[in-house]
Amino acid sequence: MKKPILIDGKLIAQTIKNEIKAEVSKLLDSGKRPPHLVAVLVGNDGASLSYVKSKEKQSKEVGFTSSLYKFPENITEKEFLETLDFLNNDSEVDGYIVQLPLPKHIDTKKVIAHVDPQKDVDGFHPANAGRMLLSMPSYLPATPYGIVTLIERNGIETSGKNCVVLGRSDIVGTPMAVLMSRKGMDCTVTLCHSKTQNLKEICKQADILIAAIGKPHFVTEDMVKEGATVIDVGIHRIEDNSEKGYYVTGDVDYEKVAPHCSYITPVPGGVGPMTIVSLLSNTLKAYKKEVYK
């Protein structure tokens, strides 16, 4: 059995950040202001806060202006939407993200639809989802965008290949299936979910298997075709006896599956680092008005 090629998301993410940083530096040299990304957070959820902090840190690393708008858990939906109006109208804000999940009394779909599509760097607004479906310029959702970039930058052949996507969430599985079937990627795509029958047999047909199911080690070696490319989107913290008290793993049983793959993403260090970088790429596009001209 051949050793698989590891898809190094950390390295590719760093390369893209360097490219963005160089572009921002040129903008500053020519006397322009830097791109400005805002993160909006409601409440005190620890995971959301650390994710937002990481976005802030990486934004600053590439030379963006980065701001955090933090609101208490009990902000009303009306007040929250008014804040978004403020961001929509601020010409010095290029893009913003609303960190999810929101408290139950705020309607998430209403909030997403309230973001100005031109500033929707998360790519969640119905206008951007529709434009993506029609292969028009749009902000692509960060995780699928990152995965497409990983595939492209590793020179993985996609044309005419069978791609199986496990999971149909709005933010990962469904847009992933759309992107892999579009002209340019040209895969024949099967989108699987909890009602799919014969899942193992379907996965075994995949030249490219993308697992976004949210169940640790769900993909086992008997589900993977010899020589397949396996992309693992899952992120799970599993408690153990280590100093940290946990280790991080994905939706794929990496140790058993990797020997059968031609390419595979590790967890951590595969898809994860690409997500924030894709958000930064979208923000630069928003600043340059590349999507909505």
Q: List contacts with ligand NAP (CB under 6 A).
A: 143, 166-169, 171-173, 192-196, 199, 212-215, 233-235, 271-272, 275
Residue closer to ligand NAP (CB basis): 4 or 144: 144
55 is catalytic: yes
Query: What is the C-alpha to C-alpha distance for residues 113 and 258, in angstroms, rounded to an integer?
Result: 41
Write down the least CB distance from residue 108 to ligand NAP, Å: 13
Write down the least CB distance from residue 214 to ligand NAP, Å: 4
Residue closer to ligand NAP (CB basis): 159 or 194: 194
How many other CB atoms sit within 10 Å of the CB of residue 73? 12
Query: What is the C-alpha to C-alpha distance for residues 39 and 103, in angstroms, rounded to an integer?
Result: 16
Contact 52, 99 (CB under 8 A): yes
Query: What is the C-alpha to C-alpha distance for residues 160 and 187, in angstroms, rounded to an integer?
Result: 5
Residue closer to ligand NAP (CB basis): 209 or 212: 212
* Set 17, 55, 161, 225: catalytic member: 55
Write down the least CB distance from residue 122 to ligand NAP, Å: 11
* Set 8, 94, 116, 122: catalytic member: 122
90 is catalytic: no
Write down the least CB distance from residue 199 to ligand NAP, Å: 6
240 is catalytic: no
First to last CA, the chain: 50
Instruction: Pick the closest to residue 95 from 64, 50, 70 (CA basis).
Output: 64
Residue closer to ligand NAP (CB basis): 34 or 123: 123
Query: What is the C-alpha to C-alpha distance for residues 66 and 71, in angstroms, rounded to an integer?
Result: 17
* DSSP three-state, residue 173: helix
Residue closer to ligand NAP (CB basis): 275 or 282: 275
Give the CA radius of gyration of the chain.
Answer: 19
Write down the least CB distance from residue 171 to ligand NAP, Å: 6
Strands, DSSP E only, in the chain?
5-6, 36-42, 65-71, 95-98, 162-166, 188-192, 208-211, 228-232, 236-239, 246-249, 261-264
- Show which residues are catalytic: 55, 99, 122
